[in-house]
Amino acid sequence: MTILDTQVLIVGAGPTGLTLALWLKRLGVQIRIIDKSEGPGGTSRALAVQARTLEFHRQIGIVDDVLSAGVRLNQLTMRTPKGIAAEIPLSAFGQGVTRYAFAFALPQDIHERVLLGHLQEAGVTVERRTELVDFADDGAGITARLRQDDVVSSPRVDYLVGADGAHSAVRHGMKLGFPGGTYEQSFYVADVTGHGPVTPEGLDIVLGAYGFALIMPVRQSGSLRLIGVVPKRFEAEPKLTFEMIRQDVERESDIKVETLNWFSSYRVHHRVADHFRSGRAFIAGDAGHIHSPAGGQGMNTGMGDAVNLAWKLAAVLQGRAKPDLLDSYEPERIAFAHSLIKGTDQAFRLVSGRSWLSDIWRRFVMPNILARVLKTKLGSRFFFGLISQTRINYRGSAVSQGKAGHVEGGDRLPWVDDEQGDNFAPLAALDWQVHVYGETQEPFAARVARTGIPLHRFPWTEAAGKAGLTRDAAYLLRPDGHVGLVTEAQDPQAFEAYVARLGLKPRQTVS
């Protein structure tokens, strides 16, 4: 138990900060969360909520509320000014990979409100109009200087996490570089009422002469969300308004706008911080990495950072793991951030290039290729794995060990759902656990029992084999559902050595 004012101070109440707060609260950690804004965001750039994020939401019991707030996208319709170029089914394109095998969209501002509601139910209030002035880390804790309505306070905390966006005060306080660049294109986002050829329960991508635009319905307001590339002749405009680009937007999207509810424009950067940790301070989300909106990865990646960090902070603070467990956060998440930057950068340039060759590719070649590939089971599964974040792995991490068949330490647990049940259900415990699919060996089971770590036995099924699991192998799972250790022969010595190395203790042994 901490002797300081609180255990974790979270700076920033966007999707990343709220996710971190929810997970830490569920794990029994004392937290404060501050934000310099007056209230939750009223505009949104992020729409896509990937399957891996929904799996994390399920673990803390909020997924049903998230799903009811958004739109399940059954079809991707790709349009050009000449008409429909391709229609791609999305209702089950990840079938067999996850319970959430569909595409799903929820505007970031609404998503934040769902998260905020659950955080308030848990007894945590975001401290608004509160900003981090600076902080000092003396090795035993952090003294943070906060300002709220001209009143300055200096709480002592065990750990500080900056989820405060691209201009992060925490990152600046950590004196970290943020190398990268800025795309030449500007983007607009608008919430409108209007009419036109919009796919019901679907996502429309309009591929035009100067870039692309996304169109999707917003369930709560009955409006349409439009996101697209600002025409080049308006990019230098310091005070861009919707009326300036209305004709371009309506012509390219074929949407007749009747009412504008709100509008914003912004530039897109691609950057990754030098580090994600310095002593007792961490950064997550846009504070650590920003990239193009291609693929709908940004918000989901920040929330993935939050989950990765939350269970590690909780385990160390509660004496259930050695402090060096926290050393695994940066290498696991910064590696993915770099690979994501590379992938989204390539995708973005493919769909937003301004040369005549890019125009031909965007409007004529790309839709045909995607339509052909995604109508095959193999192509559909590959594309789903690419964007859903279910293929993220931490192979090579200091806390990843072993291999059995296709599954290695660091992989996300393969999902199995058959007549025996759903193997992801036990992950709601938010704790280390062992899974065996088949028969358990008594020496191994006895060794696991002595540690207090739960052992879940699943009958061997054809579905388990198809998912990539190995019969009778043992999988020691991290609280985030990734495999920490896999031992094909249920090796009790390997299990015991792994547990001892990390100093693991189950949550139920903590008073």
What mean pLDDT do residues 386-412 have?
95
Residue type present at position 313: L
CATH number of the 6-40+52-68+107-178+272-349 domain: 3.50.50.60
* Rg of the Cα atoms in the chain: 24
**Residue 3: is its pLDDT beyond 60?**
no
Q: Give the start-end residues of each E strand in 196-296.
A: 202-207, 212-218, 223-229, 256-272, 277-278, 281-283, 289-290
Among the listed residues 312, 336, 4, the one whose alpha carbon sits nearest the alpha carbon of residue 161 = 312
Q: Cα–Cα distance between 59 and 69 in angstroms, integer?
A: 18
458 confidence band (pLDDT: 50, 70, 90)? very high
The mean per-residue pLDDT over the stretch 415-420 comes to 85
Q: Which helix (H) or strand (E) holds 335?
A: helix 329-352
3-state secondary structure (DSSP) of residue 239: coil
Greater confidence (376 vs 390) lies with: 390
Round to whole Å and give the CA distance between 84 and 198: 11
- Same fold for the domain at 6-40+52-68+107-178+272-349 and the one at 403-509? no
Find the mean pLDDT for residues 411-429: 92
Report the candidate in 471, 503, 450 with the shortest Cα–Cα distance to residue 316: 503
Check residue 1 and give its pLDDT.
42
**C-beta separation of 289 from 342 below 8 A:** no
Domain definitions of the chain by residue range: 6-40+52-68+107-178+272-349, 403-509
Confidence of residue 326 (pLDDT cuts 50, 70, 90): very high
What pLDDT was estimated at residue 2? 45
DSSP symbol at 198? P
pLDDT beyond 80 at 42? no
Instruction: Give residue 189's pLDDT.
Output: 87
Pairing of strands 202-207, 75-80: parallel
Within 8 A by CB and 6+ apart from 68, the residues are none
**What is the band of 359 on the pLDDT scale with cuts at 50, 70, 90?**
low
User: Torsion angle of alpha carbons 471, 477, 483, 484, nearest 10°?
Assistant: -120
**Least confident segment among 13-27, 201-215, 293-307, 492-506:** 201-215
* Packing angle of the helix pair 377-388, 51-59 (nearest 10 deg): 60
Q: Identify the band that residue 509 occupies on the pLDDT scale cut at 50, 70 and 90.
A: very low
Model pLDDT, residue 510: 42
pLDDT value at residue 133: 97
What's the pLDDT at 210?
A: 60
Share of residues in the chain with pLDDT > 90 (%): 63
Helix (H, G, I), strand (E, B) or coil at 307: helix
Nearest to 76 by CA among 196, 167, 236, 198: 198
Reported as a pLDDT band with limits 50, 70 and 90, residue 408 is very high
List of residues 6+ apart from 460 with CB closer than 8 A? 437, 438, 439, 471, 472
What is the per-residue pLDDT across 245-255, written as a single tens digit (0 to 9) for each? 999 888 888 88
Lowest mean pLDDT among 49-58, 354-363, 392-401: 354-363
pLDDT value for 235: 81
Say which residue, 298 or 456, is predicted with more confidence.
456
**Residue 44 in this model has a pLDDT that exceeds 80:** no
Number of helices (H), then strands (E), belonging to the chain: the values are 14, 26
* Residue 368 vs residues 89, 447, 479: alpha-carbon distances, Å: 14, 56, 42
Q: Looking at residues 394-402, what average pLDDT do you find?
A: 97
348-352: long-range contacts at Cβ-Cβ below 8 A with a sequence spacing of 24 or more? 348/183, 348/268, 348/292, 348/293, 348/294, 351/207, 351/211, 351/212, 351/294, 352/183, 352/185, 352/211, 352/212, 352/229
pLDDT score of 43: 63
Q: What is the model's pLDDT at position 240?
A: 94
Which pLDDT score is estimated for 496?
97
Q: For the residues of 349-401, what is the DSSP string, one character each?
A: HHHH--SHHHHHIIIIIHHHHHHHHHTSHHHHHHHHHHHHSTT---TT-TT-B
Higher-confidence position of 199 and 276: 276
Estimate to the nearest angstrom the gap between the alpha carbon of 269 and the chain centroid.
18
Phi, psi of 410 (to 5 degrees): 105, -20
CB atoms within 10 A of CB 458: 17
Average pLDDT for 12-34:
98
**Measured distance CA(228)–CA(242) in Å, rounded:** 12
Residues contacting residue 121 through CB under 8 Å, at least 6 positions apart: none
Residue written as tokens 């309009």?
Answer: 206
Sign of CA dihedral 465, 466, 467, 468: positive
Q: Is the pLDDT of residue 119 over 50?
A: yes
DSSP per-residue letters across 264-275: EEEEEEEEE-S-
pLDDT in tens, 74-90: 988 888 767 787 888 88
Best CA proximity match to 303, nearest among 276, 288, 284: 284
**CB contact at 8 A, 93 and 384:** yes
Arithmetic mean of pLDDT over the chain: 89
Q: In the structure, what pLDDT confidence band is assigned to residue 31 with cuts at 50, 70 and 90? A: very high
Q: Average pLDDT of 61-66? A: 98
Confidence of residue 207 (pLDDT cuts 50, 70, 90): confident
What CATH code is assigned to 403-509?
Answer: 3.40.30.120
Asked if the model's pLDDT at residue 511 lies above 60, the reply is no
Distances (CA, A) of 129 to 12, 40, 126, 133, 391: 11, 11, 10, 12, 38
DSSP at 412: B
